A = this chain, B = another copy of it.
Amino acid sequence: MRHCDTLIAPRWCVPVEPSGVVLDGHAVIVTDGKITDLLPLEKALKNYQPSVLIERPEHALIPGLVNAHTHAAMTLLRGLADDLPLQTWLREGVWPAEKRWVSAEMVRDGTELAIAEMLSAGITCFSDQYFFPEIVAETAVDLDMRAMVGTPVVDIPTSWAHDAEEYLSKGSDLVHDPYAEHPLISTCFAPHSISALSDEWFTKLRVMADQLDVPVQMHLHETAQEIAASLEKTGKRPCERMDELGLVNASLLAVHAVHMTDAEVARFAEAGVNIAHCPRSNLKLASGIAPIARYRAAGVNVAIGTDGAASNNVLDILSEIRLAALLAKVSADDAAAVSASDALYMGTLGGARALGLADATGSIVAGKWADLACVDLSVLNSQPIYDISSQLVYTAGSGQVSDVWVAGKHQLDNGKLAHINTDELLDRSNEWRDRIAATTH
């Protein structure tokens, strides 16, 4: 008999790796925050003496979901300005509210709300892109959440930095210092989009990213207008310009990538670029439908992101992978395109790969961190059960997530957040709402 911290005994286990496998009556063993074993329950009970035994007899255990793109603090702007044309939404809704209200305090409270929401929905890792990234990192550490923290880079003044030089300098302070060896936090540069910087600053950013060996993520080919504007201004499509500037490489996470030519997709595949597909945001802002069956067929890794709560409006990867699978079918004109199992991959290991974290998270494999989510399939809308992957992707709502562990810490226990005071958090959220609403027309 060996000691272990936690023995989790779900009815089913979907490790995601190897692909398509569903284990019945298996147990996951967790010690020192890591997955140390995955074996038949009977054997597990013989071999291990756990400090904590978690039995979930009607549940499926999956890798924690990965939200490959969000702006966490924007939870505080959720629903502030819906159903508006994109430019009105930005110019009259989001930007004035951000200009007036974004601060370290706002980012801390908004990020905390986002993390609480994401944990409740089975998400154990998120990739963020917002102002005050040092606060995002601090908040993730405080709440024991895994995060890829993108430091924003633009060439306009905000409450966080003044110009491209200051953004890059503050960003590089963050990326190469306090979190270099942190088990939960990774960092990257996050230039907003192609219009954020001049060629000169993009080049400086690339050199810095290479030197510090950190990834780059940016909104790319999100809308047809973005491409048209780039063509008009530079004679080049955004991908082409980024490629010339040396940014199209395996360190790039291209967010959205809604409109791509076959040649661009082939170039991404060759260069090892990852795509963060944000299907619901792309619908809500009428950006388009990214043809992800085509991207996957070309060999591009596709991850799934929620985008910010101002354009979604929930941080819920489970419903996002369902939508991704459904939209892939209609856009490929093929009901067999992107199966439930493919969708689950994109929401877990595909996300981890896209963030360069595939060794740490994204599948239930011994040696990885115990980032896990448990989904209750006993509820009416998931019954009866023929196929576990189908039920997870096509029927389960985030409300069915019962348990979540991040690096072995039991964050959601039987539907309740174990370490976050939600009453107090909602009080703070409502204070922000009152302030923000008072200055919005």
Contact = CB atoms under 8 A, between A and B. Distances in A.
Contact of A85 (B75, B314, B334, B339): B334
A80 interface: yes
Contacts of A70: none
Given A117-B380, A381-B121, A387 B82 contact: yes
Contacts of A18: none
Contacts of A285: 329, 335
A327 B394 contact: no
A251 interface: no
Interface in A73-129: 75-76, 78-80, 82-86, 88-89, 113, 116-117, 120-121
A287 to B, nearest CB: 8
Q: Which secondary structure dominates chain A's binding surface?
A: helix
A203 interface: no
A243 to B, nearest CB: 28
Contacts of A288: 330
A230 interface: no
A79 B289 contact: no
Nearest to A288: B330
A390 B313 contact: yes
Interface in A323-378: 323, 325-327, 329-330, 332-340, 378
A332 B394 contact: no
Contacts of A263: none
Contact of A429 (B314, B384, B399, B436): B384
A247 to B, nearest CB: 28
10 contacts: A78-B383, A83-B339, A85-B335, A282-B330, A285-B335, A286-B329, A380-B425, A386-B436, A397-B398, A399-B400
A-B CB proximity, top 8 nearest: A399-B399, A384-B433, A283-B326, A79-B390, A83-B339, A313-B394, A286-B335, A117-B380
